[in-house]
Amino acid sequence: MLPSTHVLFENPAWLPPLVTALEAEGFPVVLHDLATGMVDPGREPDDGIWLNRISPSAHTRGHGASVALMHEVLSWLESAGRRVINGSRAFALEVSKLRQDLALRRHGILTPKTVLAVGRERILEAAADFEAPFLIKHNQGGKGLGVQLLHDLAELQAHLDSPAFDPGPHAQVVVQQYIRAPEPHITRVELVGGKFLFAMQSSTVGGFELCPSDVCQAEKAKPEVCPADGSATFTASPLQAHDPLVRQYERFCQAEGLDVAGIEFIEGEDGRRYTYDINANTNYNAVLGKQLGIDGMREVARWLRRSAAKDDAERSLRSA
C-alpha cells in the first residue's frame, strides 16, 4: 500500500495534471489548500509524503499570506520527521532570487551580476553600477512577473516614479545584468529526483512571462498565436543529460534539497551560459510533453513511487 501524498497548494488550477499522475501510480491524494490555514505544534502531522506546491507568485492570486504560512508548515512537518518534497531548503531558494544566486555561486555555476535593493534611492544606486541595458525584477518572483528591461538610469527613474512600477512582495527589487543572447530564447532544464528529465527552449520575443503550465499559457493567449497549446512559445532543446552544465545542475539539486526543479539559463553572445532562475514549483507544458513523449507530472509520480519502495525496503532492513 502506497503512502498518502499530501499536496500543499494555493492555486487549484495547477492541480489536475499532478493529481491525475499521482492517482495513476496508485497514491491516495490528500489536498491541503494553504490560501488560509493554521499550524498546531501540539498536533502530529498525518503520515505520508508531503508535496510542496506553493508558488512565489501566490500574491498575484490574492494568496499573499501563503508563502509565509508555508514556511511555518514546513517547519512543523520537518520537526515531526515527515518526508517533504521540496522542503524548507528548496522553498527558501524558490522565493528568493538573491538566495538562488548565492547558492549557485557556491556551486561554481555562472550567474548574471545581481544586486538586491529596497527603496527608490537604493535601486537607483545599485543600477548605477550596471552596464546598460539592465533588468529589474521581484526578489520573490514567479511567472516572470515584475521583470523590466531598462536602457539607462533615466528610464529606470521614470519607471520607478510611474504608476506601473510594482516593487513586488516585501518591496525587494533585484537589479540584474542583461545578457545579450544571439537567439531570443532561454533554456529550461527540468530535473526530477535530482536527475535530468528534459530541456526546453522558451521564446522571449513576447516578454519574460514564461511559465510553461497550460493554464498560464491560456491566460496570456493572443489571437495571432496559440501559446495555450505551447506551439508558439516552447520547443524541445537539444541539451542532453551528459552536458557539463546539466551535471552541475544535478549535483546542485542533490546538495541543496531540490527534489523537483526547473532551472533556467541563457547563453550570451560571449558563448557562456548564465543561470538566473530556479523554479521548485515547476509546471510542464502538455503539448511539448507529447512531442517529447514525456509526461512531466507522471515522471514525478513514478519517481515518488520508486522512492516510496526504497524507503520501505530500508525500513525492512532496519527492523530485521
- Looking up residue 131, the CATH number of its domain turns out to be 3.30.1490
Residue 190 has a CB neighbour count (10 Å cut-off) of 23
DSSP 254-273: HHHT-SEEEEEEEE-TTS-E
User: Three-class SS of residue 278?
Assistant: strand
Question: How many domains does the chain divide into?
Answer: 3
Give the per-residue pLDDT at 145. Answer: 77
Residues 186 and 144: their CA atoms lie apart, in Å, by: 12
Smallest CA-to-CA distance from 31 within 45, 43, 15 is with 15
Is the domain of 205 the same as that of 102?
Answer: yes
Q: Is residue 308 part of a domain?
A: no
pLDDT of 214 reads 41
- 200 with 296, same domain? yes
Residues 33 and 50 in one domain: yes
Residues 125, 225, single domain; the answer is no
290 and 199 together in one domain:
yes
| Angle at the Cα of 230 from the Cα atoms of 183 and 304, rounded to 5 degrees | 105
How far apart CA 145 and CA 161 sit, in angstroms, is 18
pLDDT 10s digits, 234-264 = 899 999 999 999 999 999 999 999 999 999 9
Domain assignment present for residue 320? The answer is: no
pLDDT digits (tens, 9 = 90+) for 196-233: 999 999 987 765 555 454 444 444 444 333 333 334 47
Dihedral over Cα of 294, 91, 6, 309: its sign: positive
Does 224 lie in the same domain as 102? yes
Highest mean pLDDT pick, 187-191, 217-221, 284-288: 187-191
Q: Kindly report, residue by residue over 46-74, the tens digit of the pLDDT.
A: 999 999 999 999 999 999 999 999 999 99
**Do 195 and 79 have their domain in common?**
no
- Rounded Cα–Cα distance for residues 71 and 79 (Å): 12
Do 105 and 224 fall into the same domain? yes
Identify the band that residue 306 occupies on the pLDDT scale cut at 50, 70 and 90.
very high
Whether residue 153 is contained in a domain is answered as yes
- pLDDT at res. 36: 96
CATH, residue 293: 3.30.470.20
Contacts of 289 (CB under 8 A, 6+ apart): 295, 296
Distance in Å from the first CA to the final CA of the chain:
20
Residues 36 and 88 in one domain: yes
> pLDDT-based confidence at 320, cuts 50/70/90?
low
At 206 the pLDDT is 60
Contact status, residue 109 vs residue 252, Cβ threshold 8 Å: yes
* 102 in the same domain as 244: yes
- Tell me if 72 is assigned to some domain: yes
Residue 277 lies in a domain: yes
In whole angstroms, give the CA distance from residue 114 to residue 108.
Answer: 15
DSSP per position, 66-117: HHHHHHHHHHHHHHTT-EEET-HHHHHHHT-HHHHHHHHHHTT-----EEEE
Strand 5-9 and strand 29-33: the pairing is parallel
Q: Are residues 59 and 188 in the same domain?
A: no
User: What is the mean predicted confidence (pLDDT) over 153-182?
Assistant: 95
Note whether residue 41 is domain-resident. yes
User: What pLDDT score was predicted for residue 59?
Assistant: 92
What is the reported pLDDT for 258?
97
The pLDDT mean for the chain works out to 90
Distance between CA atoms of residues 133 and 117, nearest Å: 18
Domain boundary among 33, 61, 93: 93
Residue 307 in any domain: the answer is no
Where among 130, 154, 177 does a domain terminate?
A: 177
Q: Is residue 11 part of a domain?
A: yes
Q: What is the pLDDT of residue 233?
A: 77
Question: Global pTM?
Answer: 0.89
Question: Are both 154 and 278 inside the same structural domain?
Answer: no
| Domain assignment of residue 195, given as a range | 98-110+181-301
